[in-house]
Amino acid sequence: MPRTLTDPTADRAAAFATDAAADGLTVSLIGSCVATLTGRSQRDLAAGVRTLLWKPDDTVVVHGASGRDPDAWASGGPVTVDAADGLTVACDGGHTAGALRVRFDAVHTATAFDAAGADATTVSGTEAALKDRVLDTPDLVEPGFQPLATERDTPAGPIDIYGRDADGTVTAVELKNVRAGPAAASQLQRYVAALRRTLHADATVRGILVAPAVTAKTRRLLADRGLTFSPVSPPGSRDR
Amino acid sequence: MPRTLTDPTADRAAAFATDAAADGLTVSLIGSCVATLTGRSQRDLAAGVRTLLWKPDDTVVVHGASGRDPDAWASGGPVTVDAADGLTVACDGGHTAGALRVRFDAVHTATAFDAAGADATTVSGTEAALKDRVLDTPDLVEPGFQPLATERDTPAGPIDIYGRDADGTVTAVELKNVRAGPAAASQLQRYVAALRRTLHADATVRGILVAPAVTAKTRRLLADRGLTFSPVSPPGSRDR
DNA sequence: CGTGCCAGGTGCCTT
DNA sequence: AAGGCACTTGGCACG
């Protein structure tokens, strides 16, 4: 059963928020506030009307006028509420993160509610689905490609798919379900180099990057290193 | 001036949200909802009480019970509201992102407010500050290091700091203001290789990764490639 | 708990 | 618009 306060005093809002959090509820505060983050990087939010969410896991997010990401946030520390000079919500995020302090001049709306069930999500269409598709139809990678193992371990990390090409040459396949950048090429290169060291000194090892697309620079990087790009769209994609 | 509705009908809430958005206000809806994202990756949120924020830039974020990141979001498309079967907020994020549909069984609180001023932020202590510090005191990188240029362009991308070491050897410095992982080592390696190709064939080129710390595997990667790690904490850091 | 790596990454800036 | 890269990246899975 959600509770709501309109234009509460700082004292009332502080008690309201503290009680709600103690009951495991999510608290939403809408009002005019300033915020500061002190730590490795300093960040200051000028006065403005924002939404603060204090979640039951003691994550605090402060959302401003635009964008998907919060303007400021903190998690990890205990959350403290103080009504000495306006309503102040504070949370220390630890050494690397820093400490967040949000001070409200005025709280327009304070709402507390039980976010029951609000954490069950089902996801599909991720890299795992792409892997399934490739394992099901290895020819998508390259005609004659034969998968032998997934997540095969090397000193440089696990190879997404390890196998042999039509000629029997050892091949490392790296999967990306998004347009691949230089980091993907470097990653594949590390795996191939590790395989060459692991296997016999004169062993030939190929590397294939499987992704819906690559950037131009990445395509050059791959070519320079004798690596191959194979375009494969993820299962649910509209551009089959 | 914020407006608030408590337990509105779907019709009332829809009109309220549409009007508010037309006025450039931010809309906050708290209530029981399900959500689906259809596109390259499929995501389904089971029934639960969540907070939906519809921002003036037509970003829609849906926050659940935990975590910094929204459970679902959309931006890019126009946002549509429909009251046919409960309150449905929808936004098509385009080809790669997919389309978001959030359907509320019940809206507990609907609030609309002008998020004026809520986008002015000041940031300091980022990588730029680390660069300033290093340029001010090059010995932090290594005794005798001399910076010659920043953002020097190579075929592999811009080098953070380009200079010479105490012996006059050409040196590429890559800055990270966080603990560095394998990607940073690869990035530095690409820059060094590009410099070797650009300069005379027999030119010696060194690479130094400057960061507060590196992971163990990254340290090995650097050593294997003859690259150097130099620990430097960012200016505001507590561990000086 | 550290380390590595994916992510609908997002956001910012340059060409 | 596309590419490249930092980010308090967040979050997950694994040793």
Does residue B69 approach strand D to less than 7 Å at its CB? Answer: yes
Q: Which of B29, B109, B220 is the best residue to mutate to test the A interface, defined by the most A CB atoms within 10 Å of its own CB?
A: B109
Domains in chain B: boundaries: 3-113, 127-231
End-to-end CA distance of chain A: 47
- Ranges of residues in chain A with a pLDDT under 50 are 238-240
Burial of B132 (0-12, 13-18, 19+ CB in 10 A): exposed
CA A68 to C1' C10, in angstroms, rounded, equals 7
What is residue A239's predicted lDDT score, i.e. its pLDDT?
Answer: 43
Q: What pLDDT, on a 0 to 100 scale, did the predictor assign at position A31?
A: 97
Q: How far is CA B84 from the centre of its chain?
A: 37
Q: Which residues in A lie closer than 8 A to residue B66 (C-beta atoms)? A: 55-57, 59, 119
Q: How far is the CA of A208 from the C1' of D2 (A)?
A: 24
Residues B57, B75: Cα–Cα separation, whole Å: 8
State how far residue A166 is from chain B, nearest Cα, in angstroms: 30
Distance CA(A209)–CA(A224), nearest Å, equals 14
B57 and A67 in contact by Cβ < 8 A? yes
Q: Do A44 and B108 lie within an 8 Å CB cutoff?
A: no
Say yes or no: Cβ of A123 under 7 A from any atom of strand C.
Answer: yes
DSSP B105-151: EEEEEEEEE--TTTT-EEEESSHHHHHHHHHH-GGGTSTT-EEEEEE
CB B93, CB B85: distance < 8 Å: no
Q: What is residue A197's predicted lDDT score, i.e. its pLDDT? A: 87
On strand C, nucleotides with any atom < 7 Å from a protein CB are: 2-12
Give the mutation candidate from B62, B102, B111 for the A interface (greatest A CB count, under 10 A).
B111
Return the residue matching tokens 């005019």.
Answer: A32
List the pLDDT tens digit at each of the 240 positions of chain B. 789 999 999 999 999 999 999 999 999 999 999 999 998 788 999 999 999 999 999 999 999 999 999 999 999 889 999 999 999 999 998 777 889 999 999 999 999 999 988 887 888 778 888 898 999 999 999 999 999 999 998 888 899 999 999 999 999 999 998 899 999 999 999 999 999 988 877 789 999 999 999 999 999 999 999 999 999 876 655 444
* Whole-number Å distance between alpha carbons of B87 and A19: 30
The class level of CATH for A3-113 reads mainly beta
Give the class (CATH, top level) of B127-231: alpha beta
A176 touches chain B (CB under 8 A): no
Which of A81, A78, A59 has its CA nearest to residue A70?
A59
For B:201-220, CB contacts with A below 8 A are none
List the 121-150 stretch of B: residues with Cβ below 8 A of A: 121-126, 129
Q: CB neighbours of B240 closer than 8 A, spacing ≥ 6?
A: B233
